[in-house]
Amino acid sequence: MSIKISRPIFSLLNFLSPFTTTSVIIPCSQAKEIKSSRPIYLSLLKSSTNLCSILHGLSVHAHILKSGHQQDLIVTTALITMLLHFSEINSARKLFDDMPERDVAAWNSMLSGYSRNGFVHEAVSLFRMMGSSGMEPNWLTLSILLQLCGDVNDQRLGMSVHGYCIRHFEFEDPFFENSLLVYYNKIGYFYVSEKLFERMPIRDIVSSNVMISGYIRSGCPWRALEVFQLLRKEALSLDVITLEIALQACGQIGRDAIFEGESIHGLLVRLGVPNDVYFDNSLLLMYCKCGNMESGKHLFDSMEVRNLVSWSIIVNGFVQIKCPSKAMSLFNCAVRTESEVSSELLVSALQATKITGGCAQQVMSMHCFIIKVGFDSDVYVGSSLISAYGEYGEVKFAHKCLHSSASQGNNQLACWNSILSACVHHGYFSDAVELLHSMKLQKCTFDAITLVNVLSLCTHQLDLESGKVVYGYVIRSKFDSDVFVISSLLELFIKCGLLNVACCIFSKMALRNLVTWNTMIHGCVQFGFPTASLRLFCLMQQKEGLMPDATSIAGVIEAVAQRGCEKERDYVHDYAIEKGFINDEFVANSLIVMHAKFLEFDKASLVFSRASKLKSVTWNVMIAQYSLHGLVNNAISVFHLMKLNSIAPDSITLLCLLRGFPGLGSLNCIKWLHAIILKSGHASDLYLETSLIDIYAKCGDLSMARQVFDEMSYRTIISWNSMIQSYGIHGNLEEATNLFTKVQQSGIEPTLVTFLILISASSHVGDIEKGQQFFDTMTKVYSFSPREEHFASYIDLLGRRGFVQEAYEHLEKLPSGAGVCAWGSLLGACRAQGNLDVGLAAAQKLFELDPAHRGYYALASNMFSEVGRWTDASRVKVKVDDLGVEKVRGWSRVESSFC
């Protein structure tokens, strides 16, 4: 309890002034001779601490030395406490060392002072000295030591203290138990804190506050609210700190906790907590974090007093809900209203600038204002400015900001991290590598954010070796307890194909968050372990108490799609609708793809009708699935509906629709869509132009295909391949060869696909010389290794010209064989040429390589029939019936005027 400084105390301080270098000026008539005694000295020392006046404390110290009271154990302990309060560490330690005798209070005072002033190692050394002196610690000593262990993350010593307490004390002290809770929360052992909390015979409000704070720190805000509700049920008197922490838990959860947040607001009103700016800001932060900006704005407008924190919270709130215009409007109002700005407010404004979708000019304007108000050397503002420039790809300006901040001599790690993150995010991988080298040269110590960026860089480049080096650094630097770093490591190993390593790391993690679980859920699905993925989804909720998000549900949908169980599909479908995930694009699209995979288009259409379709993505997915499964008319209907809903089709929409048209076989529809492409301004899209070439050629309009090709402003090898193939399938080998010559002259490198097209075209027209020439050019000039398809086309070419025996010998010479397709081509050529001997050898080889392929049996049977070997032909047919191989029926389309 604090002591008020009364008139007699001032008189006593005046009396002590002749013995010190500093005095309190009080009229001499008011001074009285007061005999020094222990209570007076204790009161004076306490008063000096409360007054925050080291001069008065030193005056009392001088008088104590003069009067000989330094031999008094209690007075000296109080004097040490006063000196430590003013961070006079050396003076306090000298007094402590000179004490003729010490009790546990003196040791505790010195230990507490060391701990409070950050002298952790000195405090631990002093505790060891205490033990060697034979002094037994009490509850307060152990509590102070636990605080020290938490500060340095010394798990061994902290647990030793806990064990010492259990062995030497028969009763439990609430203060020490609360210290244990704080300690285990600090070192991340929340499961130990939970067990201690459950076993506490008496819980006070401090215990509950510690657990609520611990759950928030561990990313389990729902459990924090459960403890809060337990407090209310037990009728414990809630203090303001409890309500404030509970508001933080609501803010951490977000939208789902708005009801709880409003209830706490009502409690604050009923408890009569005064409306000061501090609690108004806490409420404002909760509403903004929960996304209820209407209530937040109403509270902000009704605030009698606002400070820069209030402005920062409301501006950042509108940034979080993607309303940059309102955020910038409030920022401008704050600049006009307040006499100064804060770094937090500027950071929020820069974040608003990032999401406006404007241009780098807006960032430059903010940059000028930042320089004007003198925050250009602030490390947080500087890192946000670098991030804003990076968002628009202005890496050069970001570098200039980095160098400008470096000249100010501030801690640059945050700025380095911002520009590194921007480079990785926007694909400037070489720049990111150079930045890492620069950081290494400047001896920058990497933190968790740096490591996350480095691991993201390794993941993008699939650089497993560098990732392993970073993993070693993570372990050596004790970052293996950082959940974000480990989550990035999991993603790296999964992307590089090492799911077993990722599982091993995941199983050893002491703390996991939602991102970690989602990474493993998707990783298991990616490697074909859907059952493990579903098991992880259940454990995440049962063991950790984490609520799934849209990413979790999307992973589960993919797992269910892999398993193919109809009941599971229906369950995840209903779950997504019941929990409101159907409005998430990611989840809705995953459900549509899942149902379409099993041809459940009625269910896919139901998801599509209930999903939010404000953007073109979901429309594109529905059109793509209809086109993929040959339901082009349905795709066109969705496209028409899309236009009726005023959703502008993008290039992906048109590409998804276009790729379904070859199966439709309708030139009218293709020309209709081509006209839409031209009108919508997507005529120069490379992928659309290439697809148009391919579709026109497949539908027989080679002149339109060539017109599209000639009008292309930019061509890749894929574009050339499409046009060469168009001539090839129409038997125009000469024009295809001319285009290949132009490819070589343009400096574009042909690919294996280019030569496959040319060899197939040569086979189509039966030009063996051209085919041989292209085959030799591929292997000898460009040093390509032929694949199975190339051998198949080459064998087909030889067979068409009657060189069946040469083709067989060529296949036999290949050391590893040329695959099923090449032997199938040879069998077809043998039937056409009537070469039964080679045909039988090819058939025998095919039956060994692919015994379930009906076409090869049909070829062999027809070949036997044509030479009059009816018994052999019948035997082959019986073999087909025994295998149960069914023929895939063909189908044709008739052009309609649907478009």
- In this predicted model, what pLDDT tens digit does every residue of 266-283 receive, in sequence order? 888 887 777 778 888 888
CA–CA dist 150, 162 (Å, integer): 13
Does residue 589 have a pLDDT over 60? yes
- Give the pLDDT confidence of 448-484 residue by residue, as tens digits: 888 888 888 888 888 888 888 888 888 888 888 888 8
Q: Binning pLDDT at 50, 70 and 90, where does residue 12 land?
A: very low
Question: 745 by DSSP, 3-state: which?
Answer: helix
For 256, the token pair is 């789902």
Does residue 110 have a pLDDT over 90? no
- Give the pLDDT confidence of 302-325 residue by residue, as tens digits: 888 888 899 999 999 998 888 888
Q: What local confidence, expressed as pLDDT, does residue 222 receive?
A: 83
Task: Give 22-27's long-range contacts (Cβ < 8 A, gap of 24+).
Answer: 22/55, 22/56, 22/58, 22/59, 23/59, 24/56
The whole-chain average pLDDT of the chain stands at 79
Residue type at 405? Answer: S
Question: 466 by DSSP, 3-state: which?
Answer: helix
- Give the pLDDT confidence of 698-718 residue by residue, as tens digits: 888 888 989 989 888 888 898
Does residue 857 have a pLDDT over 80? no
CA–CA dist 188, 194 (Å, integer): 12
Does residue 181 have a pLDDT over 80? no
pLDDT: which is higher, 308 or 823: 308
Residue type at 723? Answer: M
Percentage of residues of the chain with pLDDT beyond 90: 11
CA–CA dist 361, 392 (Å, integer): 10
Does residue 688 have a pLDDT over 70? yes
DSSP tag of 2: -
CA–CA dist 121, 316 (Å, integer): 41
Q: Binning pLDDT at 50, 70 and 90, where does residue 59 land?
A: confident
Mean pLDDT of 645-657: 87
Q: Binning pLDDT at 50, 70 and 90, where does residue 169 land?
A: low
CA–CA dist 839, 827 (Å, integer): 5
Does residue 36 have a pLDDT over 50? no
For 525, the token pair is 């699905």
Could you tell me where the DSSP H helices lie in 496-549? 499-508, 514-526, 530-542
Mean pLDDT of 681-686: 82
Q: Binning pLDDT at 50, 70 and 90, where does residue 124 land?
A: confident
Q: What local confidence, expressed as pLDDT, does residue 877 receive?
A: 67
The distance from CA 691 to its chain's CA centroid, rounded to whole angstroms, is 35
Q: Binning pLDDT at 50, 70 and 90, where does residue 10 land?
A: very low
pLDDT: which is higher, 824 or 853: 824
Mean pLDDT of 539-553: 87
- Give the pLDDT confidence of 341-363 residue by residue, as tens digits: 888 899 888 888 888 766 778 88
Longest dimension (CA), the chain: 143
Could you list the beta-strand ranges (E) of 14-124.
none
